[in-house]
């Protein structure tokens, strides 16, 4: 069986979407000949032509704004922002138009738009290359926000996002781009959990629920393995989609474990962990044996490469948080 990287799988998802629907377009900065700075679009222009896979000028607001007009003309745009930290010029178009168009037009004009953004830290990137922008989008009503944690799920989530009638912000964890899973490109499938369904890993862990998404899922699973050796059973919920949020799976799990730790890279204040903690308070307060704990980045701008491992939640910090929660 071959080894597949998330980059190769995302590439396959785009290829299959382009082949499956001739209205699908892929565009962004350097996505043509080069295949994107991470090679996610490699070979697609050659295969589908310069009209369906094309470079744009360096104009993030322009790229997002074009999505609106193209969608109105009946196309399904899949746009790439080159990096998290370069996506901010597009926020006005995303917030003011892409998210609001269906509501503004009383449901007449939807925005079947996907904006892919290589996101999060952990790759020794320069400034502006390690940001966690998920809260900006999750707080914008009208958008769906999706974060895959592994290659196989990345295929499923990207295909489902492209097929979705509403706009999806697709945040790709850069630090997992080259992680490998066993599988065959031809066997990739959209079958499985859909957008809005969380997945519970290590469901036998009954002492604590670790809630996470994206690149942090791997660290949470590692922490859970360590904790299991100490006799602490921790299960890991991979949210997969922040909007819609699978509140039921979250509530059910916390009701069973009575304890929860939320893990993400983004700064703590108003990070997505705040929403998770609030939901648990609202829906599962009676089951709680301990306060919900957040393991996050600190409330500082993302640091230089030499310090990023101090910033990111480590396996040890996650395990410690679970230990404290269980001992509470």
Least distance in angstroms from the C-beta of 125 to another protein? 25
Q: What is the DSSP string of 159-171?
A: HHHHH-SS-EEEE
User: Based on the number of CB atoms within 10 Å of its own CB, is 300 exposed (0-12), middle (13-18) or buried (19 or more)?
Assistant: exposed
Least distance in angstroms from the C-beta of 90 to another protein? 10
Q: Which residues contact 203 (CB under 8 A, 6 or more apart)?
A: 235
Least distance in angstroms from the C-beta of 237 to another protein? 16
Nearer to another protein, 2 or 72 (CB): 72
Nearer to another protein, 73 or 327 (CB): 73
Nearest to 98 by CA among 82, 86, 109, 84: 109
Torsion angle, alpha carbons of 7, 13, 19, 23, to 10: -110
Report the distance separating Cα 238 and Cα 146, nearest Å.
Answer: 11
Nearer to another protein, 141 or 307 (CB): 141
Strand partners, 68: none
Nearest to 186 by CA among 16, 14, 6: 16
Q: What angle do CA 15, 33, 43 make, to 5 degrees?
A: 25
Q: Which residues contact 292 (CB under 8 A, 6 or more apart)?
A: 260, 261, 262, 276, 277, 280, 281
Is position 264 annotated as part of the catalytic site?
no
Least distance in angstroms from the C-beta of 55 to another protein? 9
Least distance in angstroms from the C-beta of 80 to another protein? 15
Least distance in angstroms from the C-beta of 46 to another protein? 18
CB 112 within 8 A of CB 76: yes
CB 72 within 8 A of CB 109: yes
The residues binding another protein (CB under 8 A) are: 25, 51-52, 56-57, 59, 61-62, 64-75, 89, 92-93, 96-97, 100-110, 141-142, 144, 165-166, 196, 243-245, 247-248
Catalytic residue, candidates 97, 128, 129, 264: 129
Residue with tokens 């991470």: 38
Report the distance separating Cα 286 and Cα 273, nearest Å.
Answer: 20
Least distance in angstroms from the C-beta of 170 to another protein? 16
Q: What angle do CA 245, 234, 146 make, to 5 degrees?
A: 25
Nearer to another protein, 39 or 52 (CB): 52
The residues annotated with a catalytic role in the active site are 129
């Amino acid at each position: 069986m071959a080894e597949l990287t998330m980059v190769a799988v995302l590439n396959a998802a785009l290829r299959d979407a382009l082949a499956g629907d001739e209205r699908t377009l892929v565009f962004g900065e350097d996505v043509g000949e080069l295949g994107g700075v991470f090679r996610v679009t490699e070979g697609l222009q050659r295969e589908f032509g310069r009209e369906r896979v094309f470079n744009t000028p360096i104009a993030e607001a322009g790229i997002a704004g074009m999505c609106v007009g193209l969608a109105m003309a009946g196309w399904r745009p899949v746009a790439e922002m080159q990096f998290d930290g370069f996506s901010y010029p597009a926020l006005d178009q995303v917030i003011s138009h892409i998210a609001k168009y269906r509501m503004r037009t009383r449901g007449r004009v939807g925005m079947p738009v996907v904006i892919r953004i290589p996101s999060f830290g952990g790759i020794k990137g320069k400034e502006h290359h390690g940001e966690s922008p998920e809260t900006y989008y999750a707080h914008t009503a009208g958008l769906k926000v999706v974060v895959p944690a592994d290659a196989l799920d990345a295929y499923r989530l990207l295909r489902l996002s492209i097929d979705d009638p509403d706009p999806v912000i697709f945040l790709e964890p850069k630090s997992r781009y080259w992680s490998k899973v066993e599988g065959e490109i031809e066997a990739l499938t959209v079958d499985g959990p859909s957008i809005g369904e969380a997945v519970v890993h290590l469901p036998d862990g009954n002492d604590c629920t670790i809630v996470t998404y994206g690149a942090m899922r791997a660290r949470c699973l590692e922490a859970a393995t360590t904790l299991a050796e100490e006799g602490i059973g921790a299960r890991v919920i991979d949210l997969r989609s922040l909007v819609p949020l699978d509140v039921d799976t979250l509530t059910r799990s916390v009701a069973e474990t009575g304890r929860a730790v939320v893990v993400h890279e983004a700064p703590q204040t108003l990070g997505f962990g705040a929403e998770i903690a609030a939901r648990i308070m609202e829906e599962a307060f009676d089951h709680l044996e301990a306060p919900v704990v957040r393991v996050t980045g600190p409330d500082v701008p993302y640091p230089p490469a030499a310090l990023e491992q101090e910033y990111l939640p480590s396996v040890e910090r996650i395990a410690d948080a679970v230990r404290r929660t269980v001992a509470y």
